[in-house]
Each structure stands twice: as C-alpha cells, then as structure tokens.
C-alpha cells in the first residue's frame, strides 16, 4: 500500500495539476482583497463618490478582513481542518469566501447610504476574510501533503507568486475599470466594477477547487489514507496542544515575524498610492505602476528563492535578508529627498524582493517545528497572530491620514500625516528584523530541528 502512495505522490503531472487547481482560488482571493488598493486616493474626495466613503471608512472596511479571524475563527477553522479534513472543511470555507465577496459586491452596488453600505460591506468582508484565510491554510497544508520531501518550498513559492499576480492585476486594472479621471464624480456603477470582476474570478476558482477535491479523494482512496490527520490515540490532537504550540519559542518567533513583516507590505499596499503621490509627487498612473511592481517582483523571485531554500538551506538567513530589505525600503520612502521618483523605484524594488524572500523561507519552516498532526492548527495560529496586525494597522493608518488633512482643504492629505503613517511601518520593520535575527540564533542552538537544512531531494 505504501508503494501505491509513493507512486501517486511522486507523480509529477498529478502534483503540478493539483497545484494549478489550488492557486486559482488564492489568485481570485488576492484580486478581490486588493481591488481598492490603487483607488485609495478616491477616498480623499468622498464628495466625488456616490459610495460616500472617506479614508477612515476605507481603513475600517480594510480591517474587516481580519475581524472574525482574530475572534478565534482561524483557530477554530484550523482545528476543524485537522479533525474533519481539507476536502470537507476547505470546501466550506471556500464557499464562505465567495459568499462574503458576493455580499461586499451587493453592499457597494445597491445604493445604500454610506454608513449602511459600509456596515454591510464590513460584514461581507469579514466573511470573505475568514473564508480566504482558512482556504489559504487548506491550500498550504495540501501543498505540504502533495510535495512532502520534494520541492515543497518551490511549490509554495509558485503558489504565492501566482496568487500575487492577482494583487498586481487588481492594482493595475482597477483604475481603468472605474475610468479614473481627476475631478470625476464616481457612480456606484463605476466603483463596483472591480468587485464584479473579482467575483467572476472567484467563481472560476470554485470550479477548480472542486477538481482538486476529486483528485485528492482519488489520491487517498488509492493510497488507503485520509485527508484527516490519522494518528495513534496518544498522538491525537487535543485543545491543550494549542498551548504546546504557543509555548514553542521558534513558533512564536515565526508568528511575530509573520505579522510584522506582512503588515509592512500588505497594509502598506492599501495606502501606497496615496503615500507615493504625497511624498514623491508622482501622478496616479505612475504610483499605481509602482505599487503593482511589488507583487510583480515576487512572480520570478519567490520560486527562485524557494528553490534556493530547498537546495541550499539557510532559511533563517534568507528571512533576515528579506526583513532587512523591507525595513530599508520604508526608510528610503520616509527619509529620501521628496519629489525625486527614482528613490520610489528603488524602495519599491527592495520591498518587492524582500516580499519574495521571507515567505519562501518562512512557510516551509513551520512543518519542521510543529508535529504533522497539529500542522493545520499551527498555520491557523500564525494567521491569527498575523490578522491581529492586519486588523489594527489599516484602522490606525486610515485615521492618521483622514485626520491629517490640510486646514485649507478637506480633501488633501498633508505630508506630516503620511510620514506618521510611514513611522508605523518602520517600527514594524524593526521588530521583524530583530525577530528574524533571534530566530537564526535559536536555529543555531537547536540544529536538530533542521530549520537551516536543505530539503531532501
């Protein structure tokens, strides 16, 4: 029986076809999540939006993604994945993701008053966020299963790269979809177009997820295994295992690195166009292109760095380098001479490469420090910690920008407010770099974990 399992798991076409089916739902999730990122300057002018949202409203909406996650949804979802399996529970949360996106689309299309539309959209975005995060856990765990012992970091890197094309596409096409023009009044029929496109892509993702479910069922049926975690009685998951995971210092380091690092990049993207326009004096189309460079950098670099981690090891060293590059990027954005766009290009280049480095090394490190029976829960706990920051940072930055408008115009963000927002990202970057250094020291003290060891070929 084990021979059959080995034959199926090492069948290249099956592994890569599964990966193709898994990346599209994540691609769609990333697109929908970032559909407003390059449109953030529109919320400086709520008087020109039929939707009526200002920057504080946009910041609050953005935080909705993480609300259910930090209330325990991620932990519960991870436990359910371990207990009932990826196919059953993963499908439930993929459905929640699409249902939440549909509710957001309805909220910004139906002509409600601004506060009502914001409330409904917030609820929808909460459902979308929790569904997306648990679906992401299911995807990560499935890749770990199908690529165990062979090119796992490469597969995870490819998944991240392709998913981030969704972010890049959303950033680039959203201004064209709403037909952005200076001084234009935007109707609901303008501002809901990115959501309609995102919902259509999510529908395709659901179809491909169903194909993955069928293939995964066939895999387990042939191999005599299950997508649930089957262990001996003494090794079965218990809720007390959560405390054991949280008591693992290396797990805590990875979780803290994850939240601080991702907030430096992902939450920056939510306000990046406004920040770049204010500090470097570029036009919106240039700022949009700069922002889109962040995920585009990850497309070639993440799988390359994933391959290097597989073949060369030294994962913690790559994490230090990536965190250092992201911190340097925000220092350049904050302190470089204003109205000199060349520094913006340099900063975004560093941010994009750093965004490729850390995840390519970080995510494959989790199975090395957590027992397989608790892997779904461990990934969910990391996402839970990450979402604490993802919830708080956009509210903080949105209010900083909304409260920092110039006295002579309620629709212009001043430079001081933008710099205050950047100080938030710098502080997070400092913490990320410090934790990455601590993680490398811990890896040296515990070489038996193999954190810096190359993958088995």
Q: What is the pLDDT of residues 347-396, one digit of tens each?
A: 999 999 999 899 888 888 888 888 777 777 787 788 788 889 999 999 99
Please say if the pLDDT value at position 13 is more than 70.
yes
Check: CB of residue 388 under 8 Å from CB of residue 67: no
Q: Which of 130-134, 169-173, 220-224 has the lowest mean pLDDT?
A: 220-224
Q: Which residues on neighbouring strands pair with residue 405, listed in sequence order?
A: 413
**Sign, Cα dihedral of 349, 278, 431, 164:** negative
Instruction: Give the chain's mean pLDDT.
Output: 86
Q: Tell me, what's the pLDDT at 9?
A: 53
Minimal CA–CA distance to 320: which of 226, 432, 177, 400? 432
- pLDDT band with cut points at 50, 70 and 90 for residue 5: very low
Question: What is the C-alpha separation between 149 and 191, in angstroms, rounded?
Answer: 46
For residues 333-353, average pLDDT: 92
CA distance 437 to 312: 19
Mean pLDDT, range 414-431, rounded to an integer: 94
Share of the chain above pLDDT 90, in %: 47
Which pLDDT score is estimated for 226? 61
pLDDT for position 3? 44
pLDDT higher than threshold 50 for residue 37: yes
Go through the domains of the chain in sequence order and give each one's CATH number.
2-229+237-449 (1.20.1250.20)
pLDDT confidence of residue 2: 44
Residue 440 pLDDT level (bands cut at 50, 70, 90): very high
* DSSP symbols for 313-372: --HHHHHHHHHHHHHHHHHHHHHSPTT-HHHHHHHHHHHHHHHHHHHHHHGGGHHHHS-G
Question: Over 90: is that where the pLDDT of 137 sits?
Answer: no
Other residues' Cβ atoms within 10 Å of the Cβ of residue 47: 9
Backbone phi, then psi, for 248, in 5-degree steps?
Answer: -85, 110
Find all residues with CB under 8 Å of 434, minimum gap 6, and list them: none
Average pLDDT over residues 421-442: 95
- For residue 405, what pLDDT is reported? 66
Mean pLDDT of 396-416: 72
C-alpha dist (Å) from residue 320 to 92, 158, 224, 326, 330: 37, 21, 41, 10, 16
Angle between helices 86-107 and 114-146 (to 10 degrees): 160
Q: What's the average model confidence in pLDDT over 77-98? A: 88
pLDDT band (50, 70, 90) for residue 413: low
CA–centroid distance for 372 within its chain: 23
Q: Give the mean pLDDT of 20-44.
A: 92
Distances in whole angstroms, Cα of residue 286 to Cα of each of 186, 213, 277, 401: 21, 42, 9, 21
Q: Is the pTM of this model over 0.95?
A: no
CB atoms within 10 A of CB 308: 20
| pLDDT tens digit sequence for 210-258 | 999 888 878 777 666 665 655 555 555 566 777 888 888 999 999 999 9
Tell me what percent of the residues of the chain surpass a pLDDT of 70: 90
430 compared with 384, residue with greater pLDDT? 430
Q: By the 8 A CB rule, do 58 and 36 touch?
A: yes
- φ, ψ of residue 49 in degrees (nearest 5): -120, 125
């Amino acid at each position: 029986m084990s021979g059959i399992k080995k034959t199926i798991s090492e069948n290249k076409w099956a592994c890569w076809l599964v990966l193709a089916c898994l990346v599209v739902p994540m691609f769609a999730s990333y697109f929908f999540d970032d559909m407003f990122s390059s449109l953030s300057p529109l919320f400086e002018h709520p008087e020109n939006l039929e939707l009526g949202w200002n920057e504080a409203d946009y910041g609050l909406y953005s935080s909705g993604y993480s609300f259910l996650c930090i209330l325990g949804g991620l932990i519960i979802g991870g436990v359910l994945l371990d207990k009932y399996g990826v196919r059953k529970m993963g499908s439930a949360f993929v459905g929640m993701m699409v249902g939440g996106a549909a509710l957001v689309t309805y909220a910004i299309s139906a002509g409600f008053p601004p506060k009502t539309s914001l409330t409904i959209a917030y609820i929808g975005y909460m459902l979308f966020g929790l569904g997306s995060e648990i679906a992401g856990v299911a995807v990560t765990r499935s890749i770990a299963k199908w690529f165990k012992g062979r090119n796992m970091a490469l597969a995870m890197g490819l998944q991240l790269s392709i998913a981030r094309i969704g972010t890049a596409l959303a950033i680039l096409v959203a201004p064209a979809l709403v037909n952005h023009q200076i001084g234009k009044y935007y109707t609901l029929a303008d501002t809901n177009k990115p959501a309609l496109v995102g919902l259509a892509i999510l529908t395709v993702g659901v179809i491909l997820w169903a194909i993955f479910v069928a293939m995964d069922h066939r895999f387990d049926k042939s191999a005599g295994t299950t997508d649930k975690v089957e262990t001996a009685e003494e090794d079965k998951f218990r809720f007390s295992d959560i405390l054991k995971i949280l008591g693992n210092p290396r797990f805590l380091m990875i979780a803290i690195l994850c939240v601080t690092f991702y907030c430096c990049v992902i939450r920056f993207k939510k306000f990046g166009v406004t920040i770049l326009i204010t500090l470097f004096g570029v036009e919106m189309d240039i700022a949009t292109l700069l922002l889109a460079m962040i995920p585009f950098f990850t497309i070639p670099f993440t799988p390359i760095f994933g391959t290097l981690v597989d073949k060369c090891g030294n994962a913690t060293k790559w994490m230090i380098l990536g965190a250092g590059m992201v911190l340097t990027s925000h220092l350049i954005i904050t302190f470089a001479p204003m109205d000199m766009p060349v520094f913006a290009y340099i900063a975004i280049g560093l941010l994009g490469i750093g965004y490729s480095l850390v995840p390519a090394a970080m995510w494959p490190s989790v199975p090395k420090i957590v027992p397989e029976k608790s892997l779904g829960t461990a990934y969910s706990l990391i996402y839970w910690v990450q979402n604490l920051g993802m919830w708080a940072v956009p509210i903080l930055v949105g209010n900083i920008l909304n409260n920092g408008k110039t006295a002579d115009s309620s629709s212009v963000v001043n430079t001081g407010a933008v710099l205050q927002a950047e100080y938030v990202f710098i502080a997070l970057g400092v913490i990320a770099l410090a934790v990455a250094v601590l993680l490398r020291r811990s890896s040296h003290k515990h070489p038996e974990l193999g954190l810096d060891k190359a993958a088995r070929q």
